[in-house]
Each structure stands twice: as C-alpha cells, then as structure tokens.
C-alpha cells in the first residue's frame, strides 16, 4: 500500500543533524510510542513562551510514561505545559489531550473546523466509523468484513480523547509565541483537518502527517468536518481525498522550507523532491489500476484485492481509500467513469 522507504542521499544531512538544527531553534522531537502499525508519533516540545507541545500521542499508560520521561530529559514536567497544538484529528496525535490539559491547565489550539469534532470525540469517532462502514459496503467490501472492521474501530476509540479548543485557528492565521510566529496552513488530504505550521524566519515546517519521509501518507476518505458541527446534516457525495491531498502538496511544495518536521519518522530536508516523488508514485499507481479495468468494470474492493491481496482484507478501509483516490484521479483525466447503478459501485475504463 505504501512505497518502500526512500533511499538515503549521502549528500543530505543526517536525521541527527536535522534534529540538532531543530533543537538549536528550540524545537525538540519527543517520539512517543503507539499501538498502531505506523509506530511512534513525533510530538514536538517548543521551548518558548508559552511552553508549547505539538500533538500528544495516544491515550495509553506507556505513551504517557514515555512522554513524561522525555519531557524530564529537557528539564520539564507536564504541569509546565502552557499551550498544546493539535495538527489533525487522528487519535495517535490527540489521545493524551484530556490528561495533559487537566494536569497542566494548558490552552489548546487547533483548526476551527476541528473544534466540534474534539468537543465530542467519542460521538465523532462513532460517526466516522459509520461513514466508513457505509462506504466499504457501497464499494464492494464484504458485509462481515465491514462489520468486523467497525468493531475494531470502536475498540480503538479508547486511544483517543475529547478536548475543548480554546484557540480556534483559521487558515492563514498567525500563532504568535514570544520568539517566533507560526503561520497556520490548512492542508487537507491525509485527513480533513491536517494543519501545518510554518516558521518563515527559520524556514522550518511542522507538518504533522501531511508529509512523511519513509511512507506515503494515506489520503483517507473521511466524513467532512463540517458534518460534526452542532445541527449539521451529513454531506451528500464522497469526498475526493487524494485530489485534495495533491492540491495541498502542490501548495506546500512552494514553501522555501529548509527543514520539515513530520509526525512520524525522520526529518525531511528536500520536501520538493519528496513531493515530486509522491506525484510520480500516485500517477504510476493510477495507471496500474487503470489496466485492471481493461477486461470488465470492477469495484474498488476488487481492485484493492488484486493490488494487495490479504492486505486488502486486514486493512480494507485504508486500501479502499487508496483505490477511490486513484479512481478520482483517473476520472478527472477522463479515463474512467463510476457506474452507480447497483448496490455496489463499479468503475469502468473509458475507451
């Protein structure tokens, strides 16, 4: 589902060099463990006024213990935190939010659209799971598998957290600390709430999961954030997550960033090259899927199973999102059309 790790360029700075550069700018990586396949999540401690933590890690005792230990290595405790910034809605990035706020009294800053989602996290996550189940059934995932995956999603909710956003951020806002100004940039794609923070003076980008060096961020088809506002009705139509993600990456490519600090894995020192690699990868993957439609129309799940075999079963929603994103790319290029005439949607190659 994800490309192999990118080869290291010996001419590029090492991860240690990049982290040392970030530390000199007052930004320290705190790699907190998670129970998920993606591995550790990078929280970032910003030594400034207010003392700021970007993302929290998931709600688990191990994560909390490790976070406390790493804060102590920098002479800090949880009670010292004054501002917590959330980059997006996934539970590995926000699960300790309630605990940290109760212990520290810190303010919470996040994208304005994310506020209602966080306020009622359990309800929001359940609505997301219902949306995912309906999407899977509509695109050919067997009913028993879709039900089983929804049960897994329900179990995972314990790793998340509700929270009250005290500082609602908008695209283009400035998050001003004593020694730095961080421009707020909404970059939807991996999730609808993906937010990056750009320090133009230091040319450092805090990127969350918007860009990752070792794997391609999966553009998940998610329920639109506007649907979580009080009294909102569900949006009709399927969000085009990969199309949004590509547009977001194009905008990020234009930044003169010297260093990108991602939510997982090592720092990125050539984000433009990485983004170009991602564009080529998505085009190759779309063409490969197009060839699968040569004989007959297929559902997204049939394409996923042909592409990834058993992975399409164990990670059905992830692989389904991948296929739907690339079908959207092909449809935008006039190469496929969506046949929405039966209970299961299929995609047909256009001559």
The pLDDT-based confidence of 229 (bands split at 50, 70, 90) is: low
- Which residues fall within 8 angstroms of residue 297, CB to CB, at 6 or more apart? 339, 346, 347, 348, 349
Cite the DSSP H helix spans in 41-189: 61-73, 91-94, 97-104, 115-119, 121-138, 143-156
| Token pair recorded at residue 225 | 């954030």
* Bridge partner residues of 165 (DSSP): none
115-134, pLDDT tens digit by residue? 999 999 999 999 999 999 99
Confidence of residue 6 (pLDDT cuts 50, 70, 90): very low
pLDDT at site 172: 98
- Judged against a pLDDT cut of 70, whether residue 326 lies above it is answered with yes
Work out the widest C-alpha separation in the chain, in whole angstroms. Answer: 65
Structural domains in the chain plus CATH codes: 15-349 (3.60.15.10)
Q: What is the CA radius of gyration of the chain?
A: 20
pLDDT reading at 236 higher than 70: no
What CA–CA distances, in Å, run from 157 to 86, 150, 151?
17, 11, 10
In whole angstroms, give the CA distance from residue 75 to residue 28: 12
Which tens digit of pLDDT belongs to each residue from 309-319? 988 888 999 99
Q: What is the pLDDT of residue 341?
A: 81
pLDDT tens digits, one per residue of 139-196: 999 999 999 988 888 888 999 999 999 999 999 999 999 999 999 999 999 999 999 9
Residue 321 clears pLDDT 90, i.e. is over it: yes
What the block records as the tokens of 187 is: 């970059």
Q: What is the pLDDT of residue 3?
A: 36
């Amino acid at each position: 589902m994800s490309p192999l790790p990118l080869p290291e360029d010996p001419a590029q700075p090492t991860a240690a060099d990049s982290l040392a550069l970030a530390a000199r700018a007052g930004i320290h990586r705190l790699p907190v463990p998670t129970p998920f396949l993606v591995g550790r999540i990078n929280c970032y401690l910003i030594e400034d006024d207010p003392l700021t933590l970007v993302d929290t890690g998931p709600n688990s005792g191990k994560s909390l213990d490790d976070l406390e230990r790493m804060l102590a290595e920098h002479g800090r405790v949880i009670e010292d935190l004054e501002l917590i910034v959330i980059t997006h809605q996934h539970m590995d990035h926000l699960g300790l939010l309630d605990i940290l706020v109760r212990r520290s009294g810190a303010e919470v800053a996040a994208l304005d659209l994310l506020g209602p989602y966080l306020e009622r996290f359990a309800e929001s996550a359940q609505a997301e799971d219902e949306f995912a189940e309906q999407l899977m059934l509509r695109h050919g995932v067997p009913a028993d598998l879709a039900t089983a995956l929804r049960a897994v999603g329900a179990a995972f909710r314990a790793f998340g957290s509700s929270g009250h956003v005290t500082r609602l951020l908008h695209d283009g806002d400035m998050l001003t600390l004593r020694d730095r100004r961080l421009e707020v940039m909404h970059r939807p794609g991996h999730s609808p709430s993906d937010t990056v923070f750009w320090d133009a003076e230091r040319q450092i980008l805090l990127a969350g999961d918007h860009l990752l060096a070792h794997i391609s961020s999966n553009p998940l088809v998610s329920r639109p954030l506007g649907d979580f506002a009080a009294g909102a009705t569900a949006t009709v139509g399927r969000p085009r997550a990969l199309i949004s993600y590509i547009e977001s990456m194009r905008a990020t490519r234009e930044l003169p960033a010297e260093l990108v600090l991602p939510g997982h894995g090592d720092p990125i020192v050539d984000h433009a090259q990485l983004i170009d690699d991602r564009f080529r990868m998505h085009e190759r993957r779309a063409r490969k899927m197009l060839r699968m439609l040569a004989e007959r129309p297929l559902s997204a799940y049939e394409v996923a199973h042909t592409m990834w075999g058993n992975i399409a079963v164990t990670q059905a929603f992830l692989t389904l999102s991948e296929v739907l994103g690339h079908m959207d790319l092909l449809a935008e290029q006039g190469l496929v059309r969506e046949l929405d005439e039966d209970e299961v949607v299929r995609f047909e190659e256009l001559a």
